[in-house]
Amino acid sequence: MSLVLIRHGKSVWNLENKFTGWYDIELAPEGMIEAEKAASFLADNEFKPDVCFTSYLQRANKTLEIILNHMPVKMVKDIEIIKSWKLNERHYGALQGLNKDDTKNKYGEQKFLEWRRSYNIPPPILDEDSIMNPKKDPIYENENTDELPLTECLKDTYDRVVPYWTSEIKPLILEKDVMIAAHGNSLRALCKFLFDIEDDDIVNLEIPTGNPLLINLDKSCKILSARYLDSSRAENLPKI
């Protein structure tokens, strides 16, 4: 059974070195090119997704759209696409929109690293009156707004991604090839679960933008093998 995880291509705020989180920023031109290249790698490896999962955020949606539009028609015919906010990026709270270097200079490197990389320390909470409060965003109008966060640590992200994987994605893996187009931290959370990474070690896992991670699974969804399709941009994977 095959599963592909792909982090969206570089966004405008990735290039501007800003905390993005749930802010719905668009892909940068460089990110669009990454998505086109990802399509070529998937086609070269004859990976045909039967169903695709993605978040509610346009940078992941657009990445998926570009990939499917640049793969051979026979490989993307009749693909089901399912969106869920449970696959959204980690919510960076009051840090969203701030430049990372400016934040580090203001609060110090230790606090900066705690907010950015620790497993269980969330950033300062977003003000409820902020225009970035997801309760004010119409794309979430049909969701239970009481569940929508105003800040998250990676553990919080894990606690929404993994149950979604278990209830919605894993059952389909048994009969279909699945691709998930999501975000650095939602995919880190899922990889923590799939690769059984310790809390203290997950900080070291960096997922590159726009590079498909092909995972082969057995019938119990244990990993048999895993590799990035673009080997020139492959980050170190955890041991299986």
d(CA 198, CA 183): 20
Alpha-carbon torsion (34, 10, 118, 112), positive or negative: positive
Question: Which band of pLDDT confidence, cut at 50, 70 and 90, is reported for residue 213?
Answer: very high
Residue 239 predicted with pLDDT over 90: no
In the residue annotation, 8 being an active-site residue is answered as yes
The mean predicted confidence, pLDDT, of the chain is: 94
Q: Where are the alpha helices (DSSP H) in 16-77?
A: 29-44, 58-69, 73-76
In the residue annotation, 168 being an active-site residue is answered as no
In the chain, pLDDT over 70 holds for what percent of residues? 100
d(CA 52, CA 58): 15
Which among 96, 174, 83 has a CA at the least distance from the CA of 132? 96
Question: Which band of pLDDT confidence, cut at 50, 70 and 90, is reported for residue 77?
Answer: confident
Which of 8, 34, 91, 152 does the annotation list as catalytic?
8
Pick the CATH number of 2-233 from 3.40.50.1240, 3.40.1280.10, 3.40.50.10800, 3.40.190.10: 3.40.50.1240
| Dihedral angle of Cα 204, 30, 210, 35, to the nearest 10 degrees | 170
Question: Which band of pLDDT confidence, cut at 50, 70 and 90, is reported for residue 174?
Answer: confident
Alpha-carbon torsion (199, 56, 23, 60), positive or negative: positive
Which of 16, 65, 80, 89 does the annotation list as catalytic?
89
Q: How far is CA 200 from the centre of its chain?
A: 20
pTM score > 0.85 for this model? yes
d(CA 50, CA 75): 9
Structure tokens at 123: 């950033």
